[in-house]
Structure 1
Amino acid sequence: MYATGVCPYCVRAEALLKRKGVADIEKIRIDLDPERRDEMMQLTGRRTVPQIFIGDYHVGGYDELYALDREGKLDPLLQASA
């Protein structure tokens, strides 16, 4: 997950993933490493955080993560990447 230290949506995304049993979330702090921001933008075409990947699948931001959960699609995605 690409994130910054002060992003409330990053905190929400992390909390949702932890509630789903994800213990190890790799956070890439783009506020501390500007080169990683460029990498994120190349991979996703987006400038905002969080940018969440589950395995190689680009979920998007918090809204997309939450929508996957509401639709019942997040758990199967997490299980497939475990």
Structure 2
Amino acid sequence: MLSAVHVLAVNNFGDTRSGGLAGPMGLFLLLLLAAATVFLIRNMNARLRRLPERFDDAAPGGGSASAERNVLDPTEGDSRPGSPL
């Protein structure tokens, strides 16, 4: 029984390196992701600053007016055929 536990406990996964690269590579990836996040935040802040403070209510092409017409009034019934009301 003791020899079976000893056989299972032996590192049998091939050559292992004493100075592995997992730590430095993990640090590099972490710093790379942090730098990418900082640049993305700065880019989005710059884009948000360029937006106007208010958008006009009357958009060219009637974009906002057509959106207001598509909203159903809850006091009115649905006029589509086959509607339950």
TM-score by length of 2: 0.17
For the pair shown, the structure with the greater C-alpha radius of gyration is 2
Structure with the higher strand share, 1 or 2: 1
